[in-house]
A and B are shown apart, each in its own frame.
Chain A
Amino acid sequence: MMTEYITIYLADDDADDRLFFTDAFDELKINTKVSTFNDGVDLMNHLNDPDAILPNVLFLDLNMPKKNGLECLLEIKKNEKFNDIAIAIYSTSSTEEHIEETFINGANIYIKKPNDFETLKKILSEVVTINWQYHTSNLNKDNFLMRM
């Protein structure tokens, strides 16, 4: 039996958030393979490894030590190798500046971290099942921020 996995990466320095994230996917009955990274440097090292399996969807926290989410986003968008990765910004803040900056630099969706677990599950299930090709071609500033 062939099993199709959706490969998902999360870069977030907060252990609790990483736990909520993996727990949420555990409870969702979707075939996913979730890998988490503690910061931007960790993530980029892994991505730049030639043997690495590239994710389908990458969740990027913005506020991280060493290398923040925006720096990762810029690096990824510069490299053609990562063209197929859908990038979801996953942040506590939802200030206009952050939304604008990440939108301009090519992120695909902006998720404000929700404050209850059920909402988190709902959001994550929606995001991983998005038809990215369709979403990206219709992307604009208004539907960039994900609303639940």
Chain B
Amino acid sequence: MKAKQLYNSTLLLKVIFTISVAVIFFIAAITYKHITTLKESSKWVEQSHEINMELERLMSYIKDAETGQRGYLLTKNEEYLKPYLTSKSLINNSYKRVSKLTSNSLIQKINLKHLLFLINKRHNYLSKTLYLVQTEPNYDHKVLNEYLHVGRLTMDSIRLKIEEMSSTQKKILQNRQLEYESSMNYTPLLIYLTLMVTLVLITIAFIKINRDVVKLSKTVNTLSVANEVSSLAEIVGGFGSWQHNFETNTYTFSDNEYRLLGCEPQSFEASIEEFIKFVHPDDLEYVMENVKNMALLATLPSFTYRVIRKNGEIRHFRTIGRAVKVSSGERTYIGTTSDVTEEIYAKNFIEERNRELESNNKELTAFNYIASHDLQEPLRKIETFLSRLISSDFSTLSKPGQQYVNSIQTSANRMRTLIDDLLQFSRTTKTEKSLEKVDFNLLLENAKVELNQIMETKNAVIESNNLPTLKVIPFQIQQLFINIIGNSLKYSKENTPPIIKINSSKIAANSDKSLPANNHNYYKITFEDNGIGFEQEYATKIFTLFNRLHNKNKYEGTGIGLAICKKIVENHNGFIFSKGVLNEGSMFSIYLPFE
């Protein structure tokens, strides 16, 4: 895992680069040393060679001197002495050169000293011999022989010494050669190994760079696609984007930012000064305040203002932004500007409609009050006066007069029922709702109590299985029961005691095709009766306000009861349906959602 991380990091490339540079320096150093050693070694060879040559030359000078002297001794010809005379300076020069060449070797120095001694000794004997021959004509041959003998021995010693020196020089050279070779032996291997390691490292670096390049080109590809998408999105979504670099105090606007202002993309320099030229004069101060906030806040809350487009059109813009740190570490603000003109118009329109609705609602509430109070009051008085008239003066009225009074009373009663029902309908609103968990069995019992009188008169039977407990507005559901059962009781067959069957079951919305498809679960409660029923074509009409299927002389009613039922069920996000068969009965189904 760590190795992989290392591989993926740019650190690896840096490490490889450093190592490679170090290796190159290392190889350069070794090569330099190598060449220097080579140069030195060839110098040594040359030097050794020169030493040998010089030694040989030295030897030959000595020999020349000896040969010359020997010639003179034999012939007494002065001509032979010439080489002997010149040899001294030649030998001296030669000796000096050898001494200089061998200055770096201690053994050779000692050898050389020894050689000098021998050369001097030889010279001495040569001089002695010459002196003897030239100054004493009758010289003792024995002495001469003695001198010659010592001279020859010294000569041998010199030869030996020179040979020794020569061989020493050879040995030194050999040693140096060995040293050089041994040092040269491991150098190529070292260079080779180091180069191999470097090669491996460079290969790894190459693979990595290659991969990075592939990755980079992929990223560049993705980025360019994303750029296209974003610029397309800006056009479709009607917004533009901008960036503000705090470090360099420069702005960048997207193409669509220009289009929003009605300009060609990048047609002017992106800067706040250029942008605010478009801002509506009345909103300029507000916009500048928000621009200032940009420097202080990490998130710029959205603000809405007007701009005047190039063609003079006024549009509403909304700008939002926030600070981000880009990878280079510079603080940058990014943001979007959207054209919200339509949104604002729509909002204004909705607000206008809301105000209208509110005033309509107020009128309706006022109407409710009129219905409940002002209409009831005159009616109540008509009824009260009528009741007094009947109780005190009815008997004194003529027959038709009595008839009229009765008709007035019937009409007044009907009007009261209408007003009461209408009031109940208008009060069946959501605003009054207070949801409570309530047992429907209890509500049914309450409804039965309310309907007690008519049930007794008609000998009605209500059969019900166990009803659920649901979270509802209790008095509305109770009213629902009263209205539905009351409806069944009212439209019962003459001479047949009404039987009302109430059933409940749990169902899912998608298992019942009369319900719209959703994920809610419902309680379905059905009320089935054996009354006069109705034709199926009226199944939805009966829930409309004031809608009646029968003449009011036959069955009294206001046409409001079932409309109230529909309203109650809808208040509970439920549904109500009816099914009727003429002269056989009707069935009402209500669906109430539960959690």
Chain A residues with CB under 8 Å of chain B are 14, 16-17, 20, 63, 92-93, 95-96, 113-118, 120
Contact = CB atoms under 8 A, between A and B. Distances in A.
Most buried by A among B376, B384, B386: B384
What are the 4 tightest A-B residue pairs by CB atom distance, in nearest-first order?
A: A116-B387, A115-B383, A115-B380, A117-B388
A16 B381 contact: yes
A94 B391 CA distance: 27
B391 A115 contact: no
A45 B447 CA distance: 47
B373 A118 contact: no
A100 to B, nearest CB: 12
Given A115-B416, A118-B391, A93 B376 contact: yes
Given A16-B381, A113-B380, A115-B380, A93 B373 contact: yes
Given A115-B384, A116-B384, A117-B384, A92 B391 contact: no
A135 B73 CA distance: 185
Contact of A92 (B373, B387, B416, B432): B373
Given A114-B384, A115-B416, A118-B391, 16 more contacts: A16-B381, A20-B384, A63-B373, A92-B377, A93-B373, A93-B376, A95-B372, A96-B432, A113-B380, A115-B379, A115-B383, A115-B384, A116-B383, A116-B386, A117-B391, A118-B387
Contacts of B376: 92-93
B377 A117 contact: no
A115 B387 CA distance: 8
Contacts of A117: 384, 387-388, 391
Contacts of A20: 384
Contacts of A16: 381, 384
B380 A92 contact: yes
Contacts of A95: 372
Interface in B356-372: 372
A120 B391 CA distance: 13
A134 to B, nearest CB: 27
Contacts of B372: 93, 95
Contacts of B387: 115-118
B342 to A, nearest CB: 43
Nearest to A120: B384
A14 B377 contact: yes
A27 to B, nearest CB: 10
Nearest to A62: B373
A95 B373 CA distance: 10
A93 B379 CA distance: 13
